[in-house]
Homo-oligomer: A and B are copies of this chain.
Amino acid sequence: MAQPLPVSPLASPLPDLGTVPGVRLGAVAAGIRYKGRTDLVVAEFDAGTTVAGVFTQSKCPGAPVDWCRAALKGGVARALVVNAGNANVFTGRAGIATCEKTAEVEAHLAGCVPSEVFLASTGVIGEVLPAERITAALPALHAALTEDGWEAAARGIMTTDTFPKAAVRKTEIGGVPVTIQGIAKGSGMIAPDMATMLSFVATDAKLPSAVLQSLLSKGVVTSFNAITVDSDTSTSDMVLLFATGRADNPAVASADDTALSAFRAALDSLLLELALMVVRDGEGASKQIRINVTGAVSDTSARTVARAIADSPLVKTAVAGEDANWGRVVMAVGKCGEPADRDLLTVAIGGVTIAREGTVVEGYDETPVVAHMKGREIEIDVDLGLGEGHATMWSCDLTHGYIDINGSYRS
């Protein structure tokens, strides 16, 4: 962008970031696309680090997604290389070659094999990502990695993000203290299913990769897979979770082990915090929207209904206009094809029931709802009155800012 974007009114401050023993990281300006800012991030992990990942469901994924899917089969990671500004998507053989060259150079520096190097790219689609700009910058970046590099990493992976995103949790496994710390980037082209942006989370817990994968796969369902900014699923999205094992907690063989209860809750809450930061930095967003659907015939059905509301341009523009236009919520429920009975439907906004059993409630007073709509966090509750299925989805409003940003992204 020619002009830096104004910071989202929903931005949250960067938390106090600590270190994760076994992780060293940093960022540098490699001149891939942007001028005067960092755009290349490296993290290196101690030997023995396990890894889990979830990826975009796009049928046209970027070369780095293919690379990581293959690398993940080994279950171990020693390094991560991320660039911003160019997604290395739809770049054919050149894109694959860039992955291979990048992994080879980084593997040499980190003292591992290329398949232990994970790669991620974010930015414009369809332009060749020059490997040499990355590989030329890697040696100096490798030499400068530190355990304190988390903020630099959070800033270095940003594209149209207006604030850096990070979260941290302190928890325990079997009485042994462990840390979980993660960063994320994402602002547009955000939709389930899948990971919906880039996020990298590390812990010093000692966990087998299969356990890690189970925890991550479950954790994204109610976090990164429950957010949408614009219904457009990226070609590049991933969440990677690294466990260095430095905490030396008691061995855990299954994700269902009760020793993991606190860890699982902490991880889930961290993933949700990061995912909500992405919504709150949704391109042009001025309000966060939480959609709660209950009474559906199943959780899957509730999810589809919630997503139809969350993705509806008419609902999102109504929220932008601070208009409690519940009729558009009814429209979105009706359009998505899931079982719904107009005459059993209840709609509430800001905790105030507006419509019940197919019509507006008698004596409906819009005053408190109008006040709610002026706030930053809008709550829409829909009960379908059919069963026990429920789901929650988060979205943001659709404003002139979205048009400004996306009508001129490449220029």
Contact = CB atoms under 8 A, between A and B. Distances in A.
Interface in A330-346: 330-335, 337-343, 345
A320 B403 contact: yes
A141 interface: no
A67 interface: no
Interface string A218-248: 0000000000001111110000000000000
A52 interface: no
Given A60-B342, A317-B406, A406-B317, A90 B125 contact: no
A388 interface: no
A410 interface: yes
A355 B90 contact: yes
Pick from A58, A230, A334 the residue with the most CB of B within 10 Å.
Answer: A334
A61 interface: yes
A334 B360 CA distance: 41
Contacts of A128: 360
A408 interface: yes
A330 B93 contact: no
B410 A399 contact: no
A178 to B, nearest CB: 36
Contacts of A406: 313-314, 317-318, 321
Pick from A326, A355, A407 the residue with the most CB of B within 10 Å.
Answer: A407
Contacts of A360: 90-91, 126-128
Closest 4 CB pairs of A and B: A125-B327, A92-B359, A321-B407, A60-B334
8 contacts: A57-B337, A58-B334, A60-B342, A89-B327, A90-B327, A90-B330, A90-B345, A91-B358
